[in-house]
Amino acid sequence: MGVFLGAGAAEPKVTTMSPFKVEAEFGVDGLRIQNSQAVLNAHLLEQHGIARMQDMTGAAPNLATSNSDTRGFGDVLSLRGVTNSIFFTTPGVALMIDDVPAGSVSAYPSGLLGVESFVVKAGPQGTDYGRNAPGGMIEIRTRAPGNRHAGRLVLDYGSQNARSGELAAEGPISQQFAYSLSVALAERDGYIRNTFLNKSADDRRSVAARGALYFKPDAKTQLRAGLAFERARDDATRLTSLFSRNRYEVGSDLNGTTNVERLDFSFQARRRFDWGSMVATTSRQKFDVDPSVTDLDLSPLPLAFSRVLQGEETWTQEVRFESAPAANQTQWRAGVFYFDAAGDGNALRQFIVPPGGFIPPNFVQTERTLYDLDRKNYAAYGNLDQPIGAQTTLKFGVRLERNESEISRTKASSNNLGFPAPQDRPLVDAQAGNTASATIGVQQVITPALNLVARTSVARKPEGYSAFTASPALARFGEERQLAAEAGLTFGQPKGRFGGSVLAFATKLRGYQFERTVPGSTDFVVVNAAEVLSRGFEAKFMWSPVERVWWDFQAGYTSATFEDHRDATGVSVFGKRVPFVPRSTLRTGVTVDLGGGFTGNASYQIVGRTFYDERNTAMFSQASYGVANAQLRYRFDQWSVALYGHNLFRKGYYQFINPEIAAGAPGAPRRFGVQLTLQY
């Protein structure tokens, strides 16, 4: 680390564990192992095969992502049972990259470039950040330039003709200016074979870049201008029929397209004072899908397809004040936040209607939906850590916010035979509401090796609109309210070889938001389940049993069930599990320094059973599965070369299931590769 620190904080303590230089946050002490918080550095991300946001299931206990490999578009993130819907709700799990908050989950970047730390904070976090985070926060810090030039070049080649390259550079330009830059290119052949068109169905191509320019006019002031860009020109959404004998084969007349582009600008001013610091962060983010084309019937016949264009432009402004760090003294943070997101969509769906009654053969229905969805959020937040003795700290936090949302939506229906088609009436509506959230907790030092934490929080996720229905009553959905409690222990000597934590949590959610179809139509909407109960536990530890051996482990269990809810037909689903929430997650990995420049690591990931509909239909569920990865690396001077394997035991599984078209997104098959790295 050097004179330019991305977080603007004091230089962190460093623990050296040959051959790796590991910051204390990532060591085997209490700073690494904290309740409700998981911290990974670049080495741990690589060990567990986490190269994209879509790979992060199990990166923290009870964290999971369901996706069809569309670069974040339509992803569902869950943490302790709190989720977002596929399209229209705000995130339950928020994302911050270098103090810049993201918009919807679809707008989250896919690639991870220049990551210094990847922190997952579980449970409500809205009193600590400007961006609301009712289920948790993923906070990413990228590498900040030091006082010398440094860089990294990584070249990779592997199965499915996968080819990628990443170049990162950072350093000073002058006494006052410094820079950081990362650029990545990647492409591969698809995992899925289209047997009808005799070609791969899901080829992937992407380019991404992230950079920042730092200016330090004096010892107490730092300015940072940031830019992030990502573009993908991919083939089809990774979907195959659940009835297929081979989950990696599809016989489709339409191969599909997924074009995604993201462009983010940010500016931050940071000023230190005797009492603490002030941080002002402004960002503009633009996200576009243009287009996403999917064969809905996944067959050689031209029966149905969809073509979606979707965009989102987000402005954020945050001004934050925080106290200077000091041991055994009152610590506080407070700020104000403004968020403005304008979204638009153009969705075309075409399908053949089965003949019968007044429907003649070969009747093709076409539906086009145009919509604008706008959201605004004004918030003030603050928190206080108050020592009340040498061993006890009380924690308080509060958040006040106003949410505004509005919709403008039209839908046109037609058919190939020119028959009169009933048209949906245009929908124009708006709503607004004021809410308050709060948290209170205690941290008790029992012994130098044992700490107790407990916290209770009230959090809210705002109301909004679904764009794929004309009914005002169905389009509008209400806010989600939660009462969360957790308690746990952190154990381990501060400089010992073993440390860990255990924690139990319970969350009652009223007005739980999730998405489902409307019977007798092609509409789908967000609905509010009256009550959901989510309970579970988390466990983490790091252990270095002997020199040159490190073992990290984290596991979670979540029981998220409907306590008061009826499905679309009016049947009670009491006791059924909430969709998109795995029963359990586990990630564990071992790294061994073999000597002579050789290191090896292996990791194993388990994801518990996951349902994808509210009735818990067996066909639309994925049973528990495990995936093993391994790597052998040799370092010499500034170079290193690694051989790696992912999904070594060729485990077949779906990482997303769409019940409406009986299709699933199969996880990546077994892959091998070689990686060459130059660090300078």
Q: Is residue 1 domain-resident?
A: no
Q: What is the arithmetic mean of pLDDT over 128-151?
A: 94
pLDDT digits (tens, 9 = 90+) for 27-74: 333 334 566 788 888 888 887 888 899 999 999 999 999 999 999 999
pTM: 0.93
Domain carrying residue 324: 14-679
pLDDT digits (tens, 9 = 90+) for 268-312: 999 999 999 999 999 999 999 999 999 999 999 999 999 999 999
What pLDDT is recorded for position 16?
30
Q: Is residue 6 domain-resident?
A: no
Three-state SS for 469? Answer: coil
The residue assigned the tokens 């004072």 is 273
Count other C-beta atoms under 10 Å from residue 523's C-beta: 20
Q: Residue 12 has which token pair?
A: 């962190």
Give the count of domains, the chain. 1
Label the pairing between strands 221-234 and 498-517. Answer: unpaired
What pLDDT is recorded for position 520?
77
Distance between CA atoms of residues 660 and 658, nearest Å: 6
Judge whether residue 679 has pLDDT over 70.
Answer: yes
Phi, psi angle pair for 7, to nearest 5°: -85, -10
Torsion of CA 402, 324, 123, 284, to 10 degrees: 50
Q: Is residue 200 domain-resident?
A: yes
Count other C-beta atoms under 10 Å from residue 488's C-beta: 21
The number of C-alpha atoms within 13 Å of 617 and in the hemisphere containing its C-beta is 11
Q: Is residue 4 domain-resident?
A: no
Q: Is residue 2 domain-resident?
A: no
Q: Is residue 472 domain-resident?
A: yes
What pLDDT is recorded for position 355?
84
Distance between CA atoms of residues 212 and 447, nearest Å: 43
Q: Residue 492 has which token pair?
A: 């381990």
Helices (H) and strands (E) in the chain, counts: 2, 42
- CATH code, domain carrying 540: 2.40.170.20
Q: Is residue 606 domain-resident?
A: yes
Please return the burial class of 73, using the count of CB atoms within 10 Å of its CB with bins 0-12, 13-18 and 19+.
Answer: buried
Judge whether residue 385 has pLDDT over 70.
Answer: yes
Q: Residue 559 has which token pair?
A: 């029981």
Beta carbons of 534 and 509 less than 8 angstroms apart: yes
Residue 210: strand pairing partners: 182, 228
Q: Is residue 213 domain-resident?
A: yes
Phi, psi angle pair for 667, to nearest 5°: -70, 165
Distance between CA atoms of residues 458 and 174, nearest Å: 48
Distance between CA atoms of residues 122 and 80, nearest Å: 7
